[in-house]
A and B are shown apart, each in its own frame.
Chain A
Amino acid sequence: MSWFIANLGLIWQLTLDHIALSVPPIVLGFALSLPIGWLANRRRLARGGILSVGGILYAIPSLPLFVLMPALIGTKILDPVNVVIALTIYALALMVRTSADALASVDRDVLQSSTAVGYSAWQRFWAVELPLAGGPLLAGLRVVSVSTVSLVSVGAVVGVNSLGYLFLDGFNRYFPEEILVGIIGSVIIALVFDGILVLIGRLLMPWTARTTPRWSRGRAVSALAHGA
């Protein structure tokens, strides 16, 4: 406990580093997955190709991918950019499948109806398709968020500081408390991120908020109709 109090400054700084490394992959992975997932649903061939590439990228272990980055993009071995890009690739690989499935889960009849009442393809995507795919998208994003926060600490072994630094330092100094602080800190970040995502989901998709334990398509549609 005394170590914890004496080193609050260091722990706080590492926590901020951890957050700074986690947020870009989550946001970028999600944002990029939408157009790619959308594209995957357009053509059958594209879908197979995109999902296969995603699956293969996701199968690549994290530490080797960090090490591979300098050879691929010409960065230095200890550059934090390696970790951010590698984790973005994971986030994207995981999220593309979810995005494709989520967008495909939207009822065709609803899409045709919205076209019939005068939505352009662009409006229809933002006002109908995306909100209706929101439930599964959020579920996928939460998984991406948890796994990204957990993987960031691996970057510490290639010199990219985060709470993972406490694992290595604690190991070298034979000091379990320091490692435990790092683990708890990382779990807290994951929980806070998850809470924020759920909150954003509630705000953007109020129809999924209470009462219905299951995502009811009828409700969602009527809520959308009121909102739109």
Chain B
Amino acid sequence: MSSFIAAFGWIFDPAHNVGPDGIPARLGEHMLYTLLTLVIAAAVAVPIGFLIGHTGRGRGLAVQISGGLRSLPTLGLVILLALLLGIGLIGPLIALVVIAIPPLLAGAYAGVESVDRATVDAARAVGMTEWQILWKVEVPIGLPLIVGGLRSAALQAIATWTVAAYIPLGGLGRYLYDALPLRDYPQMLAGAILVIALALVVDGLFAIVQRLVTPRGVSEGRVSEVHDTMRSASGRGAVLAD
């Protein structure tokens, strides 16, 4: 318990709340890195996910690739790319984008795919174009799952940027790595608490957003959520979940 008191003492020490090494600055860096990762990864993964979900084609391949990416150790990928592309943000950023793509992709295609095919056929029957079906039917109904993908990717990015501070980079992970060689456990614990707080707040916000974007009258979302996460979770084994 005393270590927690020391850690909170560290967090609320005014000296740790100003300057380039202060908590607001580190928190800002962490959120900026995370946001950057999500924007780039979403720009890549969401259109592909929509295409897969809408056409029903390429799903097997996407699941395979996502599964493969998942087995890559994140720390190794970050360090390898940092070494190959030079110290700086670019290497780790590419690694983080690669890591954030599978959950975003899975959320996007599972969301679109979760829409009842009869609903889609009905939309087609009343004369909607494929583009309209995607944007006016599939995306709004599938939005909770799409946001769910964003939520997983955000948590993944927050966690991995913490680890990536080893490179060395800014962000809250800095506190852990700076304190480790000094055996300064209060500061390590303080850093850990800050990252955990950030992750839980972001997770909570996304949970609220997910609830807000659920269209009224769409109750199946919850049921299909279970199946879709299982299905997207792993390739062949997941087919069994059907």
Residues of A within 8 A of B (CB): 55-56, 59-65, 67-68, 70-71, 77, 98, 101, 135-136, 138-140, 142-143, 146-147, 149-151, 153-154, 156-158, 163-164, 166-168, 170-171, 174, 176, 179-180, 182-183, 186-187, 190-191, 197-198, 201, 208, 213-215
Contacts and interface: CB of A to CB of B under 8 A. Distances in A.
Interface in B205-242: 226, 230, 233-234, 236-242
Contacts of A136: 230, 240-241
B200 A56 contact: yes
Contact of A179 (B76, B158, B180): B76
A163 B77 CA distance: 13
B77 A60 contact: no
B144 interface: no
25 contacts: A61-B162, A63-B163, A64-B192, A67-B189, A68-B196, A70-B3, A77-B185, A77-B188, A101-B230, A135-B240, A136-B240, A136-B241, A138-B237, A139-B237, A142-B234, A154-B163, A157-B177, A163-B76, A164-B75, A167-B79, A176-B83, A176-B84, A183-B76, A208-B240, A215-B242
Which of A59, A154, A201, A215 counts the most chain B CB atoms within 10 A? A59
A168 B193 CA distance: 24
B interface majority secondary structure: helix
Nearest to A214: B242
Contacts of B195: 61, 63-64
A109 B121 CA distance: 33
B157 to A, nearest CB: 10
The 10 closest A-B pairs by CB, nearest first: A61-B159, A135-B240, A64-B192, A67-B192, A190-B71, A183-B76, A59-B203, A71-B3, A153-B73, A215-B240
B10 interface: no
Contacts of A215: 239-242
Which of B76, B158, B159, B193 counts the most chain A CB atoms within 10 A? B76
B67 A146 contact: yes
B210 to A, nearest CB: 12
Contacts, number: 164
A61 B185 contact: no
A158 B177 CA distance: 9
Nearest to B201: A59
A157 B179 CA distance: 12
Given A208-B240, A215-B241, A146 B73 contact: no
A72 to B, nearest CB: 9
Given A140-B233, A186-B76, A158 B173 contact: no
A199 B3 CA distance: 46
A77 B140 CA distance: 47
B166 A61 contact: no
A182 B77 CA distance: 10
Contacts of A186: 71-73, 76
B71 A139 contact: no
Given A64-B162, A171-B83, 20 more contacts: A55-B203, A56-B200, A59-B199, A59-B203, A60-B199, A64-B176, A67-B191, A71-B189, A136-B230, A136-B240, A139-B230, A139-B240, A147-B70, A153-B73, A157-B75, A167-B75, A167-B80, A170-B80, A197-B237, A215-B242
B99 to A, nearest CB: 10
Contacts of A190: 71
Interface of B: 3-4, 7, 67, 70-77, 79-80, 82-84, 155, 158-159, 162-163, 166, 173, 176-177, 180, 183, 185, 188-189, 191-193, 195-196, 199-200, 203, 226, 230, 233-234, 236-242
Nearest to A66: B192
Given A60-B200, A61-B159, A68-B192, A135 B241 contact: yes
A164 B73 contact: yes
Contacts of A149: 71, 73
